[in-house]
Structure 1
């Protein structure tokens, strides 16, 4: 299979995880969902089909230089760092999120370790729960794939942000599976303000 076809196939399989149970960061959210949400299904279908480049390449390059310096201590290899930042920028913009917010979420969730596994079993940069792989008969899918992880994480975060009418605090709590608590959102805001926000 050609690399692009293989990647598209992998993204479609990953999207299916969401369509059949709302693959979310926190297990309580999957239970809360219950049935497949048609709006979420539509968003994920759109996410899989969008492959646009940066709209403003100059702005993206300025952002990459700035964020590369900030990320250097966590990701020392310059090629790996720039590749990761390009993917974060792309997926955040595609979903309609601030790239800086996504950086803060990744810092709190995995500290930029693409192979991170939480005590609950969440995997990758944006900490996706893997139990849905077996549920839909796709145990071979790789949740450590950076693009798949970012695309799905950004899509879900944007979905909850819209459900919360743009209110970031409850949207982040839903994403994390800690609705009603401010502990997680405080960590995100601290990371955003201290390391990632551009003034």
Structure 2
């Protein structure tokens, strides 16, 4: 037997038993390693789902023109993106048209994130501190500080929930806007008197609804323009 062949035989006899003894380690189904791995994978899946949801909401905000509207807030670009997404998300969660929420914000604060009214209403949707605390408690958390109403996403969450609640209680957006502006108790008195009711409905509620209709019309024109751009242009025949 040649020297190199003999060497291979010896090497094979040495490696064979060792290779046969080696087995890769796979943790058991209920081992701590596998439990931790599953937990990490589940957390990552939740994160990916949330990212996809946020991307879809932002795409809707772009299509509705909300991303353009929130530029008036002059917030940093990243916060503008979160604000536009929050408007769509909270409107959908509360069964409202996002453009109605935009109209309320426009009329309440002109998108001034740090606006404070003469009676103390705060933020984009001009939420009163006591109302904010009540709405936060109802949602299962504490407002902690009134200045938290300057958090644009929180303000939208509370203000939109309040608007939806008032529409459910008062029956129509116009009547609900009376309550949003004057408070529910005062609104009942206003709406109970025909003369006062008509005067009040012609004011703030009419202003918001007019803005809402304008936003809807802008949206319709934009859709028409995009559809026209998609149509092929026939060349000379």
> TM-score, structure 2 length as denominator?
0.52
For residue 168 of structure 1, what is the aligned residue in structure 2? 173
Q: Alpha-carbon deviation of 1:162?
A: 1.1
1:153-192 pair list within 5 angstroms: 153-165=159-171, 167-177=172-182, 179=187, 180=197, 181-182=200-201, 183-192=203-212
Q: How many residues align?
A: 147
Q: Which has the higher helix share?
A: 2
8 Å CA contact 1:54, 1:90 repeated in 2: no
Q: Deviations over 1:105-143 (max 9, x none)?
A: 001111111110011111011111125789999773422
Q: Greater relative contact order (Cα 8 A, min sep 6): structure 1 or 2?
A: 1
Judged with a 3 Å threshold, the aligned counterparts in structure 2 of structure 1 residues 196 and 82 are, in CA distance, closer, same or farther, namely farther
Structure with bigger gyration radius: 2
For residue 68 of structure 1, what is the aligned residue in structure 2? 67
Q: Alpha-carbon deviation of 1:84?
A: 1.1
Query: Any stretches of 5+ residues in structure 2 without a counterpart?
Result: 1-49, 188-196, 221-237
The CA distance in 2 between the partners of 1:125 and 1:189, in whole Å, is 17
Query: Any stretches of 5+ residues in structure 1 without a counterpart?
Result: 1-51
8 Å CA contact 1:103, 1:196 repeated in 2: no
The CA distance in 2 between the partners of 1:76 and 1:194, in whole Å, is 24
Q: Structure 1 residue runs of 4+, over 6 Å off? A: 52-56, 132-139
The CA distance in 1 between the partners of 2:133 and 2:73, in whole Å, is 33
RMSD: 3.3
